Structure 1
Amino acid sequence: MKKNQKLMCAKIAQKKMKESISFINKSEKISIEHCQNRIIAENIYSKYNIPFQDNSAVDGYAINFCQKKKIKTFILVGESKPGKPYNKKLKENEAISIYTGSYIIDKNKINTVLMLEDCKISKNKITIKKKFRVGQNIRKKGEDLKENQIVFRKGRQIRTVDIAQLLSIGQKKIKVYKQVTVGVLSTGSEINQTKKRQNHLIFDANKLTLISMLKKIGCNTVDLGTIKDDFQDTKKKILNNIPNCDLLISSGGVSDSDTDMIGKVLISHGKINFWKLAIKPGRPFAFGEIKKTPFIGLPGNPVATIVTFLMLVVDYIKVLSGNREFPDRSRYISSGFSMKKKLNRREWIRGSIINKGKKQLLEKYKTTGSGIISSISQSEGIIEVEENVDYIKKGMKLKFLTFEDILS
């Protein structure tokens, strides 16, 4: 790795990462109860019209209204219940009681459903009290979905609310892409691998945080443990786990000091596509491969680890997983603060939305250092400031992403 190499901008790095993806085209069939957050591997079509049949949208009275005769009083001759429709033709002066969801079959000749409160009932007769239109309160056959209509396209991530739609068409199993398996490794001789505090050592805040975020976006994970800054140990740990993983992610060990081993292993047994980025936090960020398995080396400071994962790695993994429908959920909100910023560097500032009167403003966390973990835990998301900005003024529109939106 060249110590004085030119820093790559974030946009080019993101483009190179996505262009390098060799899609993992493996699929499996799973039951609907286990499909949340999985990626659909084939288009899903409705086998039926949904609803299957015309049905009532309300509790009330169904009639076969003749506009020429304009009858206002009808004789009650029966009822239609969910699962047990009325099975005769209605005459123009007849009505039936009907309940929400009750089918209206063709032979009924029903063309209108009146709400209970719009009618006056006396013994076996109803009289219409209010104006109405022909066709009201009837859900039409195929109104939601037509037979053979595409319900969801290949590459969609299944949300909780999608499950109701799948169940409505009688889907019991669906074909999904297999989950990406990611190996996660922490490096650094300074990491305390015990539960008790030890002088000169720090607890590992990175590995389990990364594993948690990876699970949130639908990955399988392999905990590769924590290793000291030793070339042979690092090499052995990485090479031994390549067959078990679709992607390897490490934290720490990617700066240019003599004790950082990730870059050395990448050079000796694979290749580095890029290494340093013009970003803050997280300038040391390695992307390469070993034995055709992609490798991402994140910086070691916890805030830099989390922020670069969120802003550079999440979308890469979504594409690797087969996800084709993840929307940009960013918002542009006026800045409630001012600050200087280095030109030609993208900055990801931790912050939150605050309400000032009727306005929403962005407020940055009070300190921005890469080791200040509270800047993550006490913030709602990330304020992204592009390379061409050298000063943030109050009122300037800035891009904002919540942590939850990034991981959804």
Structure 2
Amino acid sequence: MPLEEALERILGGARPTGATEELSLIDALGAVLAEDVISGIDVPGDDNSAMDGYAVRGEDLPGPLPISQRIAAGAVGEPLQPGTAARIFTGAPIPAGADAVVMQENCSVDQGGLLSVEGTVTTAQNIRPRGQDIAAGAVALSKGRRLRPQDLGLLASVGIARVTVFRRLKVAVLSTGDELVEPGTADLAGGQLYNSNRFTIAGLLARLGLEFVDVGIIPDDAQATAKALLRASELADCVITSGGVSVGEEDHVKAQVEQIGHIDLWKLAIKPGKPLAFGAIGDTPFIGLPGNPTSVFATFCLVARPFLLKLQGATDCRIPELTVTAGFATAKSSPRQDHVRVRLESGDEGLVARRFANQSSGVLSSVSQSDALAVVPPGVVVSEGDKVQVLLLDLLA
């Protein structure tokens, strides 16, 4: 199934739990707002100075003018008397009667303390009007907003200390395969591998602000797989597995989900990551990722990430893209949409995507050392110098 069609189906079935909690602002990074936040104040609360300088009346310029007062940020000055100027600093309220601020670099003060102004001064110059940022009664941030650091600052600026957000999702993660052992084991036996996927998925979930529920490594056994899947579905809001969804004789996950739940789609026309399954165990959504490390990363970012964001209540689940110049070429087209691991370098005409040499789905270093995934649509041959879309890894993970 093409990725766009799969995402439409998957996101169309995402139903947020609706459960909410209240968090202090300092703990709310990555949380999703469960209601609109309305500002109770104007920001700024007064007309104020955009820089250090002098508050003046335009009709009194160019001077010379006596300096009648000094207004620092946090202080409120007296009304400005005609024919005078006020020394003022960034953020300080504009005194009544003043209609402009002249930056100090365009002013001179003689030995007698009289101010003279150079250049043209316009009405409201260097004045930030009351409510310029946010007006009282306006929506500061809307329901469904996933809070970023700058959003926390915005909420603090209107006096908000606590926010109502959707409860953090619990995501149960299972790794499958007799060959897997946990890092820290001193010696690997023949055919064994350290379980890298568990830590990749745990990190991706942490970046989304979700709770990682570790169900462990499940052996290649049908009964054990079914038991673990049922337990996981009872512990969490979503179940994610890595491995076991392909067509091998030891791939039990897909078959067991079909026994105890249902599979809605299987196999995507993407590379890496063709064997991906999506369905449910009871009322708990299920996402079966491939087993190869690079495929796990790619399919989580392309499919699981937007689904989990919507399940969390976020309204913006887009995958951010950037247009750059291809610093690579493809030998032939593919029926699947390819996601090429690339480094981004500065070129004469902007950013250039350089292809990582080894694109094998088992080479996790190609993800670790890349900056982005370059998207090569089905049926497209890329030549060096073409424009391509890339997905920035730091925005996906």
Q: TM-score range by the shorter chain?
A: over 0.9
Could you give the per-residue CA deviations for residues 234-285 of structure 1, whole angstroms, max 9, x where no partner exists? 1111212322201000001111222111012111100011122222222211
Partner of 1:84: 75
Q: Which of the numbers 175, 183, 191 marks the counterpart of 1:186?
A: 175
Aligned-residue identity in percent? 30
Query: Alignment partner of 1:392: what SS?
Result: coil
Q: Which amino acid aligns with 2:340?
A: I
1:172-227 deviation digits (Å, cap 9, x = unpaired): 11111111111111000111244422112111110111111111112111011101
Q: TM-score, normalised by structure 1?
A: 0.91
1:276 counterpart residue number = 267
Mapped partners of 1:175, 1:46: distance in 2:
15
Query: C-alpha displacement at 1:397, in angstroms?
Result: 2.4
Aligned AA for 2:108? C
Q: Which residue of 1 aligns with 2:321?
A: 330
Aligned equivalents of 1:91 and 1:359: distance in 2?
Answer: 54
Residue 156 of structure 1 aligns with which residue?
145
Q: Distance in 1 between matches of 2:333 and 2:257?
A: 31
CA gap 1:96/1:333 in 2 versus in 1, 3 angstroms? closer
Query: Which residues of 2 match residues 8-157 of structure 1 at below 5 A?
Result: 8-65=1-58, 67=59, 72-87=63-78, 89-105=79-95, 108-117=96-105, 118-157=107-146
Q: Is the 8 A contact 1:120 1:128 kept in 2?
A: no
Aligned equivalent of 1:300: 291
Query: Residues 356 and 50 from structure 1, CA distance in 2 versus in 1: closer, same or farther, beyond 3 angstroms?
Result: closer
Tell me what 2:232 maps to. Answer: 241
Q: Which residue of 1 is the match for residue 374 of structure 2? A: 383
Q: Secondary structure at the match of 1:284?
A: coil
Contact 1:120–1:129 at 8 Å: present in 2 too? no
Once the 2 structures are TM-superposed, how far is the Cα of residue 54 of structure 1 from its aligned partner?
Answer: 1.3
Moved more, 201-210 or 350-359: 350-359
Report if the CA contact (8 A) 2:61-2:117 is conserved.
no
Residue identity matched to 1:165: L
SS of residue matched to 1:383 = strand
* Structure 1 ranges of 4+ moved more than 6 A: none
What's the offset of the Cα at 1:53? 1.0
Query: Given that residues 324 and 350 in structure 2 are in contact (C-alpha distance below 8 angstroms), is that contact kept between their aligned partners in structure 1?
Result: no
CA contact (8 A) 2:62 2:116 kept: no
Distance 1:275 1:143 in 2: 51
Measure how far apart 1:133 and its partner are: 2.1
C-alpha spacing 1:127/1:218, structure 2 compared with 1 (3 Å): same
CA drift of 1:115 comes to 2.6
| TM-score, with structure 2 as normaliser | 0.93
For residues 91 and 346 of structure 2, the distance between their equivalents in structure 1, rounded to whole angstroms, comes to: 44
Bigger mean CA offset, 279-288 vs 90-99: 90-99
- Determine which of 197, 204, 218 is the counterpart of 1:206: 197
In structure 2, what is the Cα distance between the partners aligned to 1:291 and 1:155? 26
The partner residue of 2:223 within 232, 236, 254 is 232
User: Relative to 1, partners in 2 of residues 1:95 and 1:368: Cα closer, same or farther, differing over 3 Å?
Assistant: closer
Between 349-358 and 182-191, report the one with greater CA deviation: 349-358
2-structure distance, mates of 1:93, 1:327: 57
Q: Name the CA shift for 1:395/1:99 in 2 (closer, same or farther; >3 Å).
A: closer
2: CA distance, partners of 1:81 / 1:356: 47
Unmatched 5+ stretches in structure 2: none
Q: Whole-Å Cα distance in 2 between the matches of residues 341 and 313 of structure 1?
A: 29
* d(CA) in 1 for partners of 2:349, 2:339: 26
Distance in 2 separating the partners of 1:211 and 1:17: 22
State how far apart, in whole Å, the 2-side matches of 1:112 and 1:15 are.
54
**Pairing 1:173–2:162 present:** yes
RMSD: 2.0
State the partner residue of 2:312. Answer: 321
